A and B are shown apart, each in its own frame.
Chain A
């Protein structure tokens, strides 16, 4: 049994706590949160040993692993302390707000040779895994464009008093919805090398952005678009979609299905013929031992446990991989803000996308 503790028992934390407590390979020895009413309920009604002080928990509990689900601004310091104690660490996304912290933590985790994972759960959704598999197989040819979108109904009026509405605490749709979309781009087609035409607007929020749009530029000349808006209640819940265009076809994936269109059949993908092939979640989903909200949440925890058991240090969603998403966030933050500025930047940034694509088609590289 892996002796594990959890810090951060908010919305995501409670969901993790339920899954972790149901896992046969984990002994959850303690939870930690500064909010007294939460720890009161959990200690009285769920029999969970609770701490208000993170340092005290680390000192007093003999642990193998820690799960961090605190507000984002606290991640770096807590992960750092856990690594110093030699613990395996699972950290909620986004990994860090400052990529310099991320560099240090990656080095520390790799130096300590402990398992390190970040909660980008979409990488455990069957349809997105399938999209990544298809793109990597080369069946859709050379990728020339990707579009990642995330929409949903989170901020729908001018209000909000949680850390999610505070810029310096990792609030806003960029650190929430957009991180997932960015990580999926990194997962399926690789990390962009630059961004441009950045638009970050508060639709209803004063201090943070509710929508983010930007272009993505890849080292091989491919381009992409990121479209994120969490003030859209025409979606019932968060809806994330990735579409990848290649020289031999297209792949589109969301949580429910993966559609592939092949111009010509490809040896790397014998199960898909010319034209459309659609696979659904019922077919793509692997069974889990416990279900809450979606298989992917359980799968990622199980993957963490297996990594510890088999000492897999370079698995999916490692700190190193999650830091790539943070780097893209940094690039977006370094871009211009506000509509007018973005429009101007968009004009001056419009050329790299065309260069790559046309170069491939007409420049003899394809």
Chain B
């Protein structure tokens, strides 16, 4: 897979499968109940596939491993299917840190043998090289579930991107970038709630034309730095924007929402999640229609 390949215009998201709903905890729970059956998830992915959506942008949630098993088992049914992993599913780390402390949690998620095992046992003085090794091993651990599947773009989840951004641990973006390209032949992407600030740092690191996925919606919901700064960045800066949360968790009507996003120049892809074939079809066809209209 070449790293310069264009992304598909429409990507399918996974929030609905894992109880993430920014409007209602009750609705999130109802979705969790419905989708605890793997087949219910596969049915929705099949419906999206039938509507022409062949890219699944998904968190490295434990349950995604089961979804991956299904796609590995049926390559003939989905000849061109691809995954955009978003790593990590942060709650599993956060809960482990609360329960076990930072070092013990790290130990749980890393391989137990070899140099890192020894390092973690030996009290740990984290030199430059060690940080790089640990990050690479964490990425590899998250990527395991996608073995044998096409993963042309690999994203860093926003909670990690924005934590590292705020901490000013800038080199970690470079480590992620280099490892994803070298080890997986994939294009690294960054999910963030702070686009202008992240672009400054990626520019500074010399990471050229990065894929950046962020909330882009008409009401400016979770677009830090302000909607004007986002519009200016999208129009003028060199990066490959992927729009998420375009419906602002349902606060906008689909037509109004998609119209706004499609009017922004240079947005390469739009990710959305839905649970019914009718909603998938509606959103997909609106994007197709508006994309043609504004092309």
Chain B, 200-239, CB within 8 A of any chain A CB: 219-226
Instruction: Confirm or deny: A267 has a beta carbon within 8 angstroms of a beta carbon on chain B.
Output: no
Q: Which residues from B are CB-within-8-Å of A11?
A: 94, 97-98, 102
Instruction: Confirm or deny: A280 has a beta carbon within 8 angstroms of a beta carbon on chain B.
Output: yes
Chain A, 229-250, CB within 8 A of any chain B CB: 236-237, 239, 241
Asked if A46 contacts B97 (CB within 8 A), the reply is: no
Asked if B100 contacts A291 (CB within 8 A), the reply is: no
A38 to B203, CA, bound (A): 27
Question: Which of A38, A239, A287 touches B224 (beta carbons < 8 Å)?
Answer: A287
Asked if B251 contacts A282 (CB within 8 A), the reply is: yes
Interface-facing stretch out of B168-176, B179-187, B261-269: B168-176
Asked if A155 contacts B99 (CB within 8 A), the reply is: yes
Instruction: Decide: A256 near B166, CB < 8 A? Known: A38-B102, A285-B221, A291-B193.
Output: no
A19 to B135, CA, bound (A): 22
Instruction: Decide: A41 near B126, CB < 8 A? Known: A14-B163, A161-B101, A285-B221.
Output: yes
Instruction: Decide: A46 near B167, CB < 8 A? Known: A40-B125, A154-B99, A256-B25.
Output: yes
Asked if A153 contacts B126 (CB within 8 A), the reply is: no
Most A C-beta atoms less than 10 A away, residue of B127, B162, B168 = B168
A236 to B194, CA, bound (A): 25
Instruction: Confirm or deny: B91 has a beta carbon within 8 angstroms of a beta carbon on chain A.
Output: yes
A45 to B219, CA, bound (A): 36
Q: Which residues from A are CB-within-8-Å of B172?
A: 45
A160 to B91, CA, bound (A): 17
Asked if A160 contacts B224 (CB within 8 A), the reply is: no
A282 to B251, CA, bound (A): 7
Q: Which residues from B are CB-within-8-Å of A21?
A: 166-168
Q: Which residues from B are CB-within-8-Å of A290?
A: 162, 166, 194, 197, 224
Instruction: Decide: A44 near B24, CB < 8 A? Known: A162-B99, A282-B251.
Output: no
A interface footprint on B135-164 (CB within 8 Å = 1, 0 otherwise): 000000000000000000000000100111
A interface footprint on B111-138 (CB within 8 Å = 1, 0 otherwise): 0000000000000111110010000000
Asked if A10 contacts B163 (CB within 8 A), the reply is: no
Instruction: Confirm or deny: A130 has a beta carbon within 8 angstroms of a beta carbon on chain B.
Output: no
Asked if A282 contacts B22 (CB within 8 A), the reply is: yes
Asked if B124 contacts A257 (CB within 8 A), the reply is: no
Asked if B131 contacts A17 (CB within 8 A), the reply is: no
Q: Which residues from A are CB-within-8-Å of B97?
A: 11
Return B201 CB to nearest CB of chain A, in Å: 11
Instruction: Confirm or deny: A344 has a beta carbon within 8 angstroms of a beta carbon on chain B.
Output: no
Asked if A162 contacts B101 (CB within 8 A), the reply is: yes
Instruction: Confirm or deny: B276 has a beta carbon within 8 angstroms of a beta carbon on chain A.
Output: no
Return A181 CB to nearest CB of chain B, in Å: 15
Most B C-beta atoms less than 10 A away, residue of A36, A46, A164 = A46
A289 to B195, CA, bound (A): 11
Return B265 CB to nearest CB of chain A, in Å: 23
A59 to B131, CA, bound (A): 32
Q: Which residues from B are CB-within-8-Å of A255?
A: 25
Instruction: Confirm or deny: B23 has a beta carbon within 8 angstroms of a beta carbon on chain A.
Output: yes
Q: Which residues from A are CB-within-8-Å of B279?
A: none
Q: Which residue of A lies closest to B217 (CB)?
A: A282
B interface footprint on A131-155 (CB within 8 Å = 1, 0 otherwise): 0000000000000000000000111
Instruction: Confirm or deny: A363 has a beta carbon within 8 angstroms of a beta carbon on chain B.
Output: no
Instruction: Confirm or deny: A1 has a beta carbon within 8 angstroms of a beta carbon on chain B.
Output: no
Asked if A17 contacts B99 (CB within 8 A), the reply is: no
A15 to B223, CA, bound (A): 19
Instruction: Confirm or deny: A57 has a beta carbon within 8 angstroms of a beta carbon on chain B.
Output: no
Q: Which residues from A are CB-within-8-Å of B28?
A: 236
Q: Which residues from B are CB-within-8-Å of A281?
A: 22-23, 249
A10 to B101, CA, bound (A): 9
Asked if A18 contacts B167 (CB within 8 A), the reply is: yes
Instruction: Confirm or deny: A270 has a beta carbon within 8 angstroms of a beta carbon on chain B.
Output: no
Q: Could you pull out 8 A-B pairs where Cβ atoms are within 8 angstroms? A: A15-B163, A17-B166, A17-B167, A37-B125, A256-B24, A283-B251, A290-B162, A290-B197
Q: Closest 6 interchain pairs by CB?
A: A18-B166, A291-B193, A282-B251, A162-B101, A22-B166, A291-B224
